[in-house]
Amino acid sequence: MPATIRDVARASGVHISTVSRTFSAPHLVNPETRSRVLACAEHLGYRPNRAARALITGRTHNIGLIVADIANPFFPPLIKAAESAARHRDYHIFVTDTNEDPAVEEELVHALAKQVDGVLLCSPRMSNSLIEQLSREVPLVVINRQVTGLPSVVMDVAQGARLAVEHLTGLGHRHVALLGGPRGSWTSREIRRAATAAARTADAELTVLGPNQPTEHGGTAQAEQVRRIGATAVLAYNDLMAIGLIEGLDSLGVRVPEEVSIVGIDDISLSRLTRPKLTTVANPTGAAGRAAVDMLLQHGDDRRTTAQVTLQTELVIRDSTGPAPTGKPHTVKE
Amino acid sequence: MPATIRDVARASGVHISTVSRTFSAPHLVNPETRSRVLACAEHLGYRPNRAARALITGRTHNIGLIVADIANPFFPPLIKAAESAARHRDYHIFVTDTNEDPAVEEELVHALAKQVDGVLLCSPRMSNSLIEQLSREVPLVVINRQVTGLPSVVMDVAQGARLAVEHLTGLGHRHVALLGGPRGSWTSREIRRAATAAARTADAELTVLGPNQPTEHGGTAQAEQVRRIGATAVLAYNDLMAIGLIEGLDSLGVRVPEEVSIVGIDDISLSRLTRPKLTTVANPTGAAGRAAVDMLLQHGDDRRTTAQVTLQTELVIRDSTGPAPTGKPHTVKE
DNA sequence: TCTGGGTATGCAAAGGTTTGCAGTGGCAAG
DNA sequence: CTTGCCACTGCAAACCTTTGCATACCCAGA
């Protein structure tokens, strides 16, 4: 039903190759012919079939972007930045969501391959070896993870976690809980490593709780546990969990930050809207999205330049952290 | 570099058509041959090229989903539901974001055409005539808008707006402000129409403010204006704006709901997290996403069944609404 | 008049797959 | 031994473009 290049050629009395050139190399065709072809194309509603074109040229001008959970407000700024960067180079971004499921992740890479020129793999939960294997099928740039041999862009969450723990111990907290992220998360491991080291340095106790769902609910669910172990401060894997935790503690009657201080990670826009406003580690998500697109597109086929970009993070102190309570610790007496 | 069907055929000593059938019609090939082909394919890392396949079959098994703003928490539940519905039918969803820009919207439809079997157009800002025109290029299902001749799924926002206004007038409010949505939004027009009618019925005054950006900032920006006109209640185009407005009023020293009552629309998960918790009109976004996918896929080429689905909405009363203040109205004295 | 260069267009192969049709061989029924 | 069916496989066209090469023409220079 939709018009093909052949219909336009017939209608304008030229060969299909001329029609093709009218669109992809206009300078090669006589201005007069060109305008006639254009008129016919317009009239027939012709649009070049991008799939067929890609079959020849090997370029789809599309980029796939796979995220773990599109409902997590961490991702939209990254997505938007990537889209904007892509648009400037005449590319389009196709976003898909994996529901935090590694199997879906793998399937999506296969589905996207050949329909895109490359895939931005954001916060993957797959194993490194699987990622490497998939990268032979379609160019990959990994975000929020380091995989040897593959281009990647990560935020320096280790530094962020260190700053957060130092902030807390500096406020006098001696027992910090760490709400871990989901299984398979590189970021979660990094945070844990750095937080553990920072706590040791400050001679404070650190208790790891998790793995958890990186959602509001994942935070709420640990409120009881946080109170039980008597931690006076918490570093959460992300803001969503931190916010959930505040809610959970609130319904247990525990006040933040008077009784428990909480630090999130990401600095999603929501963290400025809650009461108390959230102290958090700001991640440059927009820069990450842009950088990933650049890395994918820059070195066309020159895939040897597997740069690893690390972006700086920053501690943003708001209202959810305060001095450690002076009284006896909040252990539950049973 | 990546293996093609031809490579597999050569390696396993059969014709390419046999390889093709091994994947797309396994019952037609000898089990022995099949396993040999499968082994070779596995060994070579062969995956059918979906773009080439689509060229023949006319089916890509992809669906495009265009949303106005991926950062708006209204969309993720819809996206997730659509993805889930699609996955059950062996389809994939590609999401793209338009930044509320009609021009980008149009461009994206063109870009997606031929790479997907249909497009879900969510909260479009384009003109109806343009949408109709685009629907000749690729099957379209419109969400949050009614376009004659096209399948669509909408939420009954008119009913929701009516309930909201009745709720407010029932609390004694005589002057309600309506924070309009973005230009080109069908939903915004519907809300305005219904709210105006409901206010008239209750013999209350209704002032329309806008159009506005449908974001938190769009709400904050109208706080001053809301106070100036002396409205004691506000119905906002969506929750994000309602939340922004609460923030804005807060920084002006106006308390919610004691001095001004606020109702949002959408019931995004965030509306349960703010203080005060938001009274809002719940939209069945998940059901909308599922319905849209169903409509697109159900009647394959039978596009005459241009059903228009309307989903019910519901008023959720929380803490941001209360009785109208009894004192004199809050007009600014200059 | 011939040569050379440039411009505009046509030709046909190529890209990776699907699929209707035709062909092969084996086997059971007659 | 023939016939017919069946299961399997090969052949080649088709899908819609792009692109290297060839062709045709025109015009200027010698």
**Residue A118 domain-assigned?**
yes
**Residue A266 domain-assigned?**
yes
Mean pLDDT, chain B, whole residue set: 93
* pLDDT at A300 > cutoff 70: no
Contact B77 A55 (CB under 8 A): no
* pLDDT at A307 > cutoff 90: no
**Residue A193 domain-assigned?**
yes
**B191 with B218: CB under 8 angstroms?**
no
CATH number of A22's domain: 1.10.260.40
> CB within 7 A of strand D: which residues qualify?
A 4-6, 16-17, 20-21, 23-25, 46-49, 52-53, 55-57; B 13-18, 21, 27-34, 52, 55-56
The runs of H, that is alpha helices, within chain A are 5-12, 16-24, 31-44, 50-57, 75-88, 102-112, 128-134, 157-170, 186-201, 216-220, 223-229, 239-251, 285-298
Residue B312 is given by DSSP the state -
A25 vs B298, more confident: A25
Q: Find the CB nearest B114 among A50, A71, A97.
A: A50
Element (H, E) at B291: helix B285-298
Helix, strand, coil fractions of chain B, as percent rounded to 5: 45, 15, 40
Do A93 and A126 lie in a common domain? yes
**A256 with A249: CB under 8 angstroms?**
yes
Tokens at residue B265, please? 């629309």
Size of chain B in residues: 334
Identify the three-state secondary structure at position B63.
strand
Do A168 and A252 lie in a common domain? yes
Do B44 and B70 lie in a common domain? no
Do A178 and A271 lie in a common domain? yes
Predicted pLDDT of residue B332: 42
Do B141 and B216 lie in a common domain? no
Mean pLDDT of B185-209: 97
Closest residue of chain B to A77, computed from CA coordinates: B71
Q: Which residues contact B69 (CB under 8 A, 6 or more apart)?
A: B75, B97, B98, B99, B100, B214, B215
Closest residue of chain A to B62, computed from CA coordinates: A111
d(CA B2, CA B175): 67
Residue B16, judged by CB atoms within 10 A of its CB (0-12, 13-18, 19+), counts as middle
Mean pLDDT of B218-243: 97
**Residue B55 domain-assigned?**
no
Helix, strand, coil fractions of chain A, as percent rounded to 5: 45, 15, 40
**Residue A327 domain-assigned?**
no
Do B185 and B77 lie in a common domain? no
Which phi and psi angles does B89 have, rounded to 5°? -105, 15
C-alpha distance from A137 to closest chain B C-alpha (Å): 7
Find the chain A residues whose C-beta atoms sit closer than 8 A to any C-beta of B. Answer: 2, 45, 47, 49-52, 54-55, 60, 62, 70-71, 73, 76-77, 79-80, 83, 87, 92-97, 99, 104, 108, 110-111, 113-115, 136-137, 216, 243, 247, 269-270, 273-275
d(CA B81, CA B286): 5
**Residue B164 domain-assigned?**
yes
Predicted pLDDT of residue B151: 94
Per-residue pLDDT band at A64 (split at 50, 70, 90): very high
Nearest 5°: the CA angle B202, B207, B209 is: 145
**A250 with A272: CB under 8 angstroms?**
no
**B64 with B94: CB under 8 angstroms?**
yes
Per-residue pLDDT band at A302 (split at 50, 70, 90): low
Size of chain A in residues: 334
Contact A93 B93 (CB under 8 A): no
Predicted pLDDT of residue A333: 39
Element (H, E) at B9: helix B5-12
Mean pLDDT of B197-217: 96
B99-104: long-range contacts at Cβ-Cβ below 8 A with a sequence spacing of 24 or more?
B99/A80, B99/A83, B99/B68, B99/B69, B100/B68, B100/B69, B100/B125, B100/B182, B100/B213, B100/B214, B101/B125, B102/B126, B102/B127, B102/B130, B102/B184, B104/A87
Predicted pLDDT of residue A329: 47
Mean pLDDT of B88-99: 95
CATH number of A236's domain: 3.40.50.2300
pLDDT tens for B54-65 read: 999 999 999 999
Do B110 and B210 lie in a common domain? no
Chain A and chain B share a number of CB contacts under 8 A equal to: 119
Do B115 and B227 lie in a common domain? no
Domains of chain B: total = 3
pLDDT tens for B140-162 read: 999 999 999 899 999 999 999 99
* pLDDT at A253 > cutoff 60: yes
**Residue B290 domain-assigned?**
yes
Do A294 and A197 lie in a common domain? no
Per-residue pLDDT band at B210 (split at 50, 70, 90): confident
Q: Which residues contact B150 (CB under 8 A, 6 or more apart)?
A: B131, B132, B135, B140, B141, B142, B306
Do A214 and A167 lie in a common domain? yes
- The number of C-alpha atoms within 13 Å of A156 and in the hemisphere containing its C-beta is 12
Do A72 and A13 lie in a common domain? no
Tokens at residue A303, please? 């895939």
Per-residue pLDDT band at B277 (split at 50, 70, 90): very high
d(CA A225, CA A234): 11
Element (H, E) at A69: none
d(CA B204, CA B175): 6
**Residue B323 domain-assigned?**
no
A85-91: long-range contacts at Cβ-Cβ below 8 A with a sequence spacing of 24 or more?
A85/A289, A85/A290, A85/A293, A85/A294, A86/A293, A86/A297, A87/B104, A89/A293, A89/A297, A90/A61, A91/A61, A91/A62, A91/A63, A91/A117, A91/A293, A91/A297
Chain A residues whose CB is inside 8 A of the B113 CB are 47, 50
Identify the three-state secondary structure at position B21.
helix
Q: What strands, in cross-sheet order, belong to the sheet with B314-316?
A: B205-209, B175-179, B233-236, B261-266, B279-282, B314-316
Chain B residues whose CB is inside 8 A of the A115 CB are 50-51, 60, 62, 115
Mean pLDDT of A210-223: 95
Identify the three-state secondary structure at position A39.
helix
Most distant CA pair in chain B, distance: 91
Q: How far is the CA of B7 from the C1' of C11 (A)?
A: 29
Helix B157-170 and helix B186-201: axis angle, to 10°? Answer: 40
Do A176 and A276 lie in a common domain? yes
Q: Beta A62-67 vs A92-97: how paired, if at all? A: parallel
pLDDT tens for A184-196 read: 999 999 999 999 9
Mean pLDDT of B19-26: 94
Whether residue A323 has a cis bond before it, omega within 30° of 0: no
- Closest nucleotide to A6, Cα to C1': D16
Residue nearest to nucleotide D18 (CA to C1'): A56
Predicted pLDDT of residue B304: 56
Predicted pLDDT of residue A298: 83
- The domain of B23 spans 5-48
* pLDDT at A254 > cutoff 60: yes
Q: How far is the CA of A21 from the C1' of C10 (A)?
A: 12
pLDDT tens for B257-268 read: 999 999 999 999
pLDDT tens for A89-138 read: 999 999 999 999 999 999 999 999 999 999 999 999 999 999 999 999 99
d(CA B90, CA B73): 26
Q: Beta A314-316 vs A279-282: how paired, if at all? A: antiparallel
Q: Which residues contact A84 (CB under 8 A, 6 or more apart)?
A: A290
d(CA A23, CA A7): 15
**B235 with B294: CB under 8 angstroms?**
no
d(CA B60, CA A60): 15
**B87 with B79: CB under 8 angstroms?**
no
